[in-house]
Structure 1
Amino acid sequence: MSEGFSNNNYNKNLKEYARKLRNNSTLAEAILWDEVLKQKQLKGYSFLRQRPIGNYIVDFFCKELKMIIELDGTIHLFQKNKDRNREDSLKKMGYKIIRFHNEEILKNIRNVQISLELHIDELEKA
């Protein structure tokens, strides 16, 4: 699936759609971005929002760690198989995927930040 893509499987054909998603972020995405991820706030790593990777657009992506952060809203309760296939495909491309429910972001952003820091510590050891 990753044939024909470069730059961490960047898919330029999804660029405009990704831009629309960035401009219409959910509340949970905006909070995670503003309070944890933007401007290298999380352990000095740079994250991108709504990054086209392969045939998907991921919520947040760190190139250095090959780490994807996905936020799940209510819709994900009804598309578990689709999410599983997407995650399997991204893992085959070499990415580590971390998922949070929107409620986790909205209710306890500090626990989410700590969890991400622990995931990064593990990736740095590998």
Structure 2
Amino acid sequence: MGRLDPLHFRRELRKQQTKAERKLWTILRDRRLASLKFRRQHPLQGYIVDFYCHRARLALELDGSVHDDPARASYDAERQRRIEASGVTVLRFANADAFEQPEATVAAILGAAASHALPHPVPLPEGEGTS
């Protein structure tokens, strides 16, 4: 069996979201959270993050029990270090946080987004930028 192309792999990940990812996506999708645009299963630095907001340079990761394994924790730490070296902040949440502490999860996301947001793009004056 051949290796999946990256776009196909991301689409498959979107179809196979965990319950926690689905729960958080209902909060993030369609610019519902402070008008921030989040993408699901977005590629960054050769990795795929669960959610990403370019304007805030913010990646969100939801971790299940598989991330408790010491080898996996070491991989996650290196992955996070490489992503953050590119100027992106990575917030990690346990899957349970999406269900048991949604308000605290949202508050952490908003706080990180506010402190790392790029300036909102200014639209071009009428008539400029058209050919």
TM-score (norm 2): 0.80
Deviation for aligned residue 1:41: 1.1
Matched, 1:27 2:19: yes
Higher helix share: 1
**How far apart are 1:95 and its partner, in Å?**
0.8
% identity of equivalent residues:
27
Kept in 2: contact 1:31–1:106 (CA 8 A): yes
Which runs of no fewer than 5 residues in structure 1 stay unpaired? 1-12
Q: What is the root-mean-square deviation in Å for CA atoms of aligned residues?
A: 1.6
Is residue 124 of structure 2 the alignment partner of residue 99 of structure 1? Answer: no
Q: Give the structure with higher Rg (CA).
A: 2
Name the structure 1 match of 2:109: 116
Secondary structure of the equivalent of 2:42? strand
Q: Deviations over 1:74-104 (max 9, x none)?
A: 0101111100110011011221101110011
Query: Alignment length, in residue pairs?
Result: 113
Which residue is equivalent to 1:14?
A: 6
User: How far 1:125 moved relative to its partner?
Assistant: 8.9
Please say if residues 57 and 117 of structure 2, whose CA atoms lie closer than 8 Å, have aligned partners that are also in contact.
Answer: no
- CA distance change for structure 1 residues 54 and 43 in 2, over 3 Å: closer, same or farther? same
Question: What is the alpha-carbon distance in structure 2 between the residues aligned to residue 42 and residue 28 of structure 1?
Answer: 17
**1:5-42 deviation per Cα after TM superposition (whole angstroms, max 9, x unaligned):** xxxxxxxx5211111000010000000001x2001011
- TM-score (ref. length: structure 1): 0.83
Question: Which residue matches 1:57?
Answer: 48
- Secondary structure (helix, strand or coil) at the match of 1:88 reads helix
Q: In the alignment, what sits opposite 1:69?
A: 60
Gaps of 5+ in 2: 120-131
1:6 corresponds to which residue? none
Deviations for 1:43-81, whole angstroms, at most 9, x for unmatched residues? 111000001223211000011111100111101011111
Separation in 1, partners of 2:114, 2:56: 11
